[in-house]
Amino acid sequence: MKALILVGGFGTRLRPLTLSLPKPLVDFANKPMILHQIEALKAIGVTEVVLAINYQPEIMLNFLKDFEEKLCIKITCSQEMEPLGTAGPLALARDKLIDDSGEPFFVLNSDVISEFPLKEMIEFHKAHGKEASIMVTKVDEPSKYGVVLLDEETGEVKEFVEKPQIFVGNKINAGIYLLNPSVLDRIPLKPTSIEKQIFPKIACENQLYAMVLPGFWMDIGQPRDYLTGLRLYLNYLRRISSPLLASGPHIIGNVVMEETSQIGEGCLIGPDVAVGPGCVVESGVRLSRCSVMQGARIKEHAVVSGSIVGWHSTVGEWAHIENMSVLGEDVHVRDEVYCNGGLVLPHKEIKTNIDRPEIVM
């Protein structure tokens, strides 16, 4: 079975992290976002993943080379010369997606995280026997997503409205599809939106079915949602009693920590924290609802809460980083500095307080 992951777009909403790496390679719970997806695809028997990409394919491919071997899965790129939207890339990758088997293939948005119940999706798709299946999930704020109206009993999609201005419903497109090859005949090789131009048509012909996704789901393409997604994901790890969760007297709630990170005396870590590989967390540090990425150093008695600390950054002694601050790669915050919601671009040094949310460039 094959799969295509939509990895185009510049990930602007996840800046400053995406100034250093393409969005799918940004770590989520200590693993590049896209690896969560590739592992889930591999687990249900996908043998080839096509990355639909419109810039920097070499960075992605180099990065994923190791994993290709480790996971025993073929990873290739299909590169657009101009952004083709969310459907055009499928037409471009047509030859890679179709083979003699006539099997359906998966399509995933690269910035969604869930339990990826792909096996259940295959069964659902077989059971209704129509052209296309999508996963849907319930959210409180549907307007920033694709909203789906469906027949609750059969799952048949009655209407698909991308980013509606007025309330249509609260079940939304989760960005995980299983499509028959025939769907490709509906997509022209030009910039095309699957949500606006393709799904509404398929729904009109009663060929689109939606399955309500069991378990958690989040689009982690912006900092606030990224941290919410982290909480949900760690919660899920707790539910399955995952050995990845850290334990000990200094741990509160759900925390993942790489073995190669060092934790000093008297720290308090959690809930909902990820500490990446090679990090140094000095003594007396307080971390909660945050992600600290590879090689970062949090100095004595600093506090990081509700924020993301990018790769190889340092947070000074007694400094406070809070309220959805995002420090890009290699940012250095001086001792005792307070950072309230600052988005700090890579390679900056922060010498004075950031009192209210702002972009520091």
Q: How far is the CB of 5 from ligand GDD (least distance, A)?
A: 7
6 binds, among Mg ion, ligand GDD, none (CB under 5 to 8 A by kind): ligand GDD
Q: Closer CB to ligand GDD, residue 109 or residue 197?
A: 109
Q: How far is the CB of 160 from ligand GDD (least distance, A)?
A: 8
User: Contacts with ligand GDD in 118-147 (CB under 6 A)?
Assistant: 145-146
Whole-angstrom CA distances from 294 to 91, 113, 171, 184, 360 are: 37, 20, 36, 40, 22
86 binds, among ligand GDD, Mg ion, none (CB under 5 to 8 A by kind): ligand GDD
85 binds, among ligand GDD, Mg ion, none (CB under 5 to 8 A by kind): ligand GDD
209 binds ligand GDD (CB under 6 A): no
195 binds ligand GDD (CB under 6 A): yes
Draw the binding track, 154-193, toward ligand GDD (x: CB under 6 A; -: no contact). Answer: --------x---------xx-x------------------
220 binds ligand GDD (CB under 6 A): no
162 binds, among Mg ion, ligand GDD, none (CB under 5 to 8 A by kind): ligand GDD
Report the first-to-last Cα separation within the chain, whole angstroms: 45
User: Contacts with ligand GDD in 42-101 (CB under 6 A)?
Assistant: 52-54, 80, 83-86, 89
219 binds Mg ion (CB under 5 A): yes
- Residue 300: strand pairing partners: none
The pair phi, psi for residue 70, each rounded to 5°, is -60, -45
Q: Closer CB to Mg ion, residue 111 or residue 131?
A: 111
Q: How far is the CB of 74 from ligand GDD (least distance, A)?
A: 18
| Closest alpha carbon to 210 in 303, 140, 296, 124 | 124
User: Contacts with Mg ion in 88-117 (CB under 5 A)?
Assistant: 111
| Separation between Cα atoms, residue 104 and residue 101, nearest integer Å | 9
| Separation between Cα atoms, residue 295 and residue 60, nearest integer Å | 21
Q: How many residues bind Mg ion (CB under 5 A)?
A: 3
146 binds, among Mg ion, ligand GDD, none (CB under 5 to 8 A by kind): ligand GDD
Q: Closer CB to ligand GDD, residue 126 or residue 138?
A: 138
Q: Which residue is nearest to ligand GDD (CB)?
A: 8
331 binds, among Mg ion, ligand GDD, none (CB under 5 to 8 A by kind): none
221 binds Mg ion (CB under 5 A): yes
Q: How far is the CB of 161 from ligand GDD (least distance, A)?
A: 9
Q: Are 289 and 303 in contact (CB under 8 A)?
A: no
Whole-angstrom CA distances from 243 to 70, 79, 122, 160, 329 are: 21, 38, 28, 40, 29
Among 29, 112, 183, 343, contact with ligand GDD (rule: CB under 6 A): 112
Q: How far is the CB of 24 from Mg ion (least distance, A)?
A: 11
Q: How far is the CB of 195 from Mg ion (least distance, A)?
A: 11
**Which residues of this protein are in contact with Mg ion, per CB under 5 A?**
111, 219, 221
**Which residues of this protein are in contact with ligand GDD, per CB under 6 A?**
6-9, 52-54, 80, 83-86, 89, 109-112, 145-146, 162, 172-173, 175, 195, 219, 221
